[in-house]
Amino acid sequence: MDYKDIIDLQNLPKHIAFIMDGNGRWAKNQGQHRLFGHAAGVESVKEVIKTAREIGVSYLTMYAFSTENWSRPSEEVEGLMNLLVEAITNEVDEMHQNGVRLLTIGNIKGLPGKCYESLLEAMERTKNNKNLTLVLALNYSARQEILEAAKKLTELAQKQELDVTQVKEEDFAQLLQTKDIPDPELLIRTSGECRISNFLLWQLSYTELYFTEIHWPDFRREALLEAICAYQKRERRFGMVSEQIQKA
Ligand code: IPE
Ligand code: IPE
Ligand code: MG
């Protein structure tokens, strides 16, 4: 299918965020180990990046590991970390060739050393790329991010470097890890769960939420095009009434 037949290129989300959910259930449905699902999920990540580049989406943020995910069985956590290093190592060349810039949000210093190092290396190597920005959320907690920003704000106020009474939303946003990244217009969560699970709580204030039953390893090109199509049928009102939007 040619994407141009179904997608309005004038109304593309610039930034799409993903809660990549359902790897475990997808694997279980096939009588496989959960890690088999995570490995298949990496293929979906690659296909989504490729499709996003093709149609011209500028930012993708992918929730890959939450601070809460440390509570999973240690074997799964270890498997996920190994998979992360493997994926970064295998894909960094191609990402770089395709002009993809890698960024992360979350406390990556809290990841195992080999993950941290491979991420730093890949970020350094791709830092000047301009075609697409891929933001991986790793060891990420939105509440933690907001709390850290509030702490920084307090420090700046104590040092008299800012006047707290004058702080605007834009100033606060600059203290978040997503500073300089526009808010996502669209959030996609796969696998039927309709919750945010501590992801981008500040940034999603006016994001369109899209939930699909498809498990992440089955979320490929067509599914992404369908989600963008659904987004384009929505009317984003930002608190106004429909007539005001249509006039604009
Ligand atoms: C998402 O799939 C991947 C991560 C959270 C790392 P899950 O592993 O949560 O899969 P389900 O929800 O158990 O099916
Ligand atoms: C959210 O998925 C985190 C990631 C996709 C990395 P979970 O599967 O961990 O979320 P809950 O526990 O179902 O809310
Ligand atoms: Mg899950």
List all residues whose CB is within 6 A of at least one atom of ligand 2. Answer: 19-21, 63-66, 69, 193, 195, 197
Amino acid at 134: L
Nearest ligand 1 atom to the CA of 26 is 14
CB of 144 closer than 8 Å to CB of 108: no
pLDDT of residue 2: 82
Q: Name residues of the chain where pLDDT drops below 70.
A: 1
Position 90 in a domain: yes
Cα of 94 vs centre of ligand 1, distance in Å, is: 26
Domain residues for 126? 9-146+182-247
Name every residue whose Cβ is closer than 8 Å to that of residue 240 and which is 6 or more positions away in sequence: none
CB of 164 closer than 8 Å to CB of 153: yes
Burial class from Cβ neighbours inside 10 Å (0-12, 13-18, 19+) for residue 105 reads buried
Position 219 in a domain: yes
pLDDT tens digits, one per residue of 24-62? 999 999 999 999 999 999 999 999 999 999 999 999 999
Which residue among 8, 11, 69, 98 is the active-site one? 69
Name every residue whose Cβ is closer than 8 Å to that of residue 92 and which is 6 or more positions away in sequence: 102, 121, 122, 125, 126
Position 42 in a domain: yes
Q: Return the ∠ at Cα 39 (arms to 90 and 37), rounded to 5°.
A: 170
Which CATH number belongs to the domain containing residue 123 in this structure? 3.40.1180.10
Q: Whose CA is nearest to atom 7 of ligand 2?
A: 21
> Torsion angle of alpha carbons 60, 88, 106, 156, nearest 10°?
-90
Nearest ligand 1 atom to the CA of 27 is 14
Distance CA 37, CA 20 (A): 11
Q: Whose CA is nearest to atom 9 of ligand 2?
A: 69
Could you confirm whether 69 is annotated as catalytic?
yes
Distance CA 57, CA 70 (A): 31
* Structure tokens given for 203: 């940034």
The per-residue DSSP string of 17-39 comes to EEE---HHHHHHHTT--HHHHHH
Q: Whose CA is nearest to atom 2 of ligand 2?
A: 21
Position 161 in a domain: no
pLDDT of residue 206: 97
Position 165 in a domain: no
pLDDT of residue 246: 86
Could you confirm whether 171 is annotated as catalytic?
no
The answer for 157, left when phi > 0, alpha when psi is -120 to 50, beta otherwise, is alpha
Q: What is the pTM of this model?
A: 0.97
Count: domains in the chain: 1
Which residue among 11, 21, 128, 129 is the active-site one? 21
pLDDT of residue 114: 98
Position 87 in a domain: yes
Position 53 in a domain: yes
CB of 186 closer than 8 Å to CB of 13: yes
* Structure tokens given for 102: 């890698």
pLDDT of residue 209: 98
pLDDT of residue 248: 72
Name every residue whose Cβ is closer than 8 Å to that of residue 157 and which is 6 or more positions away in sequence: 163, 164
